[in-house]
Structure formats: C-alpha cells, structure tokens
Amino acid sequence: MEAFAAAGIHLQTHTLKIILPVGVSFYTFQALSYSIDIYRKKIEPTRDIIAFFAFVSFFPQLVAGPIERATNLLPQFYARRNFDYAKAVDGMRQILWGLFKKIVIADNCAVYVNQVFDTPQTQSSSTLLLAAIFFAFQIYGDFSGYSDIAIGTARLFGFNLMRNFNFPYFSRDIAEFWRRWHISLTTWFRDYIYIPLGGNRVSKAKVIRNTFIIFLVSGFWHGANWTFIVWGGFHALLFLPLVLLGKNRKNTNTIAENRIFPTITECFQWGITFLLVIAGWVFFRAKTIGEAVVYLAGICNTSFFEIPTGKKLIIRCFLFILLLLIMEWLNRNKQHGLEQMDKVKPIFRYVFYYMIVLAILLFAGKEQVFIYFQF
C-alpha cells in the first residue's frame, strides 16, 4: 500500500480484498502444473493459444476447481465434440445433486453453525458437538456441491473434468480421507511437492519432514491464519503413524464393497475417522486457535447430555443430511450421488427429481457465499 501511496493512490485493506481475483489459487495451480509438466517433458507445449487460455480459464471450474491437469483437459479442446444425450442427462443429474448439497444442506447447516460458533461460551456441550458435525456437512455440501455443478456443467459441453470428491466421509482412516477429499489439490501437492521431496521412499526422518511439509503447505494454501496451519499440522500427526507403519494404503477399496452394510470393524474405523476429521474442522472454522481450544473443551463438559438448542432447524438439517448419506451410500462406488437414478423406473425417478427441486425451492437456507471462493 505504501507503493500506491507514493503514487498518490490511497488504498484500504478492504479495497485490496475486492480487487483480488476470485479463485486465483485454483487457476494459478492449474497454470503451474502445465509449466512443470512441460519442464519434466510429460507434455509438449501447445501452439494453440486459444486452447491454452481456454484451458486456464475454463469457466465451470475456474473459481473453485477441480484443479485440472493439462494432460487431461487441454487435449479435449483439440478434439471435435458431438452432443451426447446420455452424458448430458448425467451432467444434469450431477448439477441437480450439487445444487441440493449447496443450497439445502450447506446453507441450512451454515445458519446453525454460525449461531453456535459466534457464541461458543454460552452453548451446551451437545450443541457444540452438533454444530461441529453440521459444519463438517456444511463444508462438504458447499465444496463438493460446487464441484458437482462444475463437473456436470462441463459434461453438458462434452468435457470430462477430473473427480474432486469421492464420498470422503465414508473413509476408514485419515489416509483414505485425503485420497477422497479435494482430490485435485491433494494429488497436485503429492505430484509436485511430496514425490519430488522423496515421498515415503526415503529415511523415516525425511518421511516425517515431507509429511509435515505437505500438510502445512495445504493449511497455508487455505489462508495466512494460524488456525489453518494447526489444522494442517493436526492432519499430519494423524497421517504419520499410517505412513511410517506402511498402512497408509490399507483401505483403497470401497467401504462395504459388494455388501449393503459395513462390518462392525468398518463402522468403528469409520466413526473414529469422522470424529477426528470433525475435531480438525473446528480449527478450520474457528477464527483463532484459542477459540478452537475453548470450543473443543466446551464439548467435553458435563452438559453433553442436554438437548441441543434450535430444534426445528436441527430436524430440518438432520433429515436432509440423512437423505444425502443414503443416496451417497447407495452410490458410493459411482461418480456422484444420483448416478444410478437412470436404473430406477421413470415414474419413481421423476418423482424423486421433483422432490429434490421442491426441496431446493422450499427449504433453501439463507444464501451463503461458497466457502472456497476465499481461497
């Protein structure tokens, strides 16, 4: 700002926030991957400037991902595309599911989460825990909802974007969670930072170093706030035992594969992983580390068995989250939560679609800006 002041231009902090491009980190990382892959001779530089700029600024995923690789997206701008009705219909289904997750799940949960996180000292333990759980579904519905909309929209135009979420809350350990959460960013850090540092094929001391680097960088990517750094460090501590014991790729298959219900062991692993992820989300959501510590301490007090406040909103959020979990559980080995709807009889399929549309129109939460627009 001093440089601008010397030129006679007086800027305020809020002015700088306005002029900062939305989603700058997403398309910066996308452009970086193109340059790095050329340097590594994985791809040839394109001579088609229109295709290049279309790749960097492809509108569906421009502001919040997925962060595409040139090896996947750039060749699609060269190819001739014909309208594919089946892909377009599936794209519309994914868009509808993304809208439901954002407008109905995330925005409703946000109302409750904001109320509780603004006044954690006055809330009961049960209310604090419920708000933390709702934030887990808020951020998932918000971010994966955007990804579903972006991927579905791209499919309408004949483009196939990479998957960004693979039902992460069905994970059985933290390593599996990170293979399923924000996949485009996780694999970006893996391919361009973690592996060049030696990955896990070096000494244990360097494995520890590499793990902390990758998670702390991930935290810092979300913002220059100590809460994000602690969030990244917390996940590094959870991930380290798995990678040091060689168990970080233990759960690479789908939970309850070829079965309707998970085993007791899978349920236990699933529950523990989800609770650990929720603890991390408290640091992610809190404004300061102290606020996060007070929040977590509040969950552990004697008011745990009190009835949470805000019954009407709780019931609404709970019912919609239950619908989300049922649909995504049934499609947990598919690309999105409505992929198998084409196998349902038309009358039931369209009734369900209209129910989702009505839920969006009648039960939309208070409008909330996408969380990841700030990153």
Domain membership flag for residue 203: no
Same domain for 64 and 161, yes or no, is: no
223 φ/ψ sector (left φ>0, alpha ψ -120 to 50, else beta): left
Residue 44 near residue 137 (C-beta atoms within 8 A): no
Domain membership flag for residue 187: no
Same domain for 163 and 272, yes or no, is: yes
Long-range pairs for 300-308: beta carbons < 8 A, 24 or more residues apart: 300/125, 301/125, 302/125, 303/124, 303/125, 303/126, 304/124, 304/125, 304/126, 304/129, 305/126, 306/124, 306/125, 306/126, 306/127, 307/126, 308/124, 308/126, 308/127, 308/130
What is the 8-class DSSP label of residue 148?
A: H
Domain membership flag for residue 258: yes
Residue 308 near residue 124 (C-beta atoms within 8 A): yes
Domain membership flag for residue 186: no
Same domain for 24 and 168, yes or no, is: no
Domain membership flag for residue 352: yes
Same domain for 16 and 147, yes or no, is: no
How many domains does one find in the chain? 2
Q: pLDDT tens string for the chain (375 positions)?
A: 455 455 555 555 544 444 445 556 677 888 888 899 899 888 889 888 888 888 888 888 777 779 888 888 898 988 888 889 999 999 999 999 999 999 999 999 999 999 999 888 888 899 999 999 999 999 999 999 999 999 999 999 999 999 999 999 999 999 999 999 999 999 999 999 999 999 888 899 999 999 999 999 999 888 778 899 999 999 999 999 999 999 998 999 999 988 999 999 999 999 999 999 999 999 999 999 999 999 999 888 877 777 787 788 899 999 999 999 999 999 999 999 999 898 889 899 999 999 999 999 999 877 777 776 665
Same domain for 260 and 367, yes or no, is: yes
User: Which of 373, 365, 325, 282 is CA-nearest to residue 106?
Assistant: 365
Domain membership flag for residue 204: no
Distance CA 308, CA 129 (A): 9
Q: Is 265 exposed, middle or buried (0-12, 13-18, 19+ CB in 10 A)?
A: exposed
What is the 8-class DSSP label of residue 174?
A: H
Same domain for 41 and 103, yes or no, is: no
Domain membership flag for residue 21: yes
What is the maximum alpha-carbon separation in the chain?
69
Q: What is the DSSP string of 65-127?
A: -----HHHHHHHHHS-----HHHHHHHHHHHHHHHIIIIIIIHHHHHHHHHHHHSGGGS-HHH
Among residues 47, 78, 109, which one ends one of the domains? 78
Same domain for 53 and 163, yes or no, is: no
Same domain for 150 and 73, yes or no, is: no
Which domain, by its residues, includes 269?
85-172+251-374
Domain membership flag for residue 212: no
Same domain for 134 and 26, yes or no, is: no
| 74 C-beta neighbours (distance < 10 Å), count | 21
Task: Supply the pTM of this predicted model.
Answer: 0.89
Same domain for 126 and 60, yes or no, is: no
Q: Taking the chain, what is the end-to-end CA distance rounded to the nearest angstrom? A: 22
Same domain for 127 and 67, yes or no, is: no
Among residues 40, 61, 78, which one ends one of the domains? 78
Q: Please name the amino acid found at residue 50.
A: I
Residues classed as catalytic = 222
Same domain for 21 and 137, yes or no, is: no
* Angle separating helix axes 125-156 and 289-299, nearest 10 degrees: 120
Burial 23-36 (b: 16+ CB within 10 A, else e): bebbbebbeebbeb
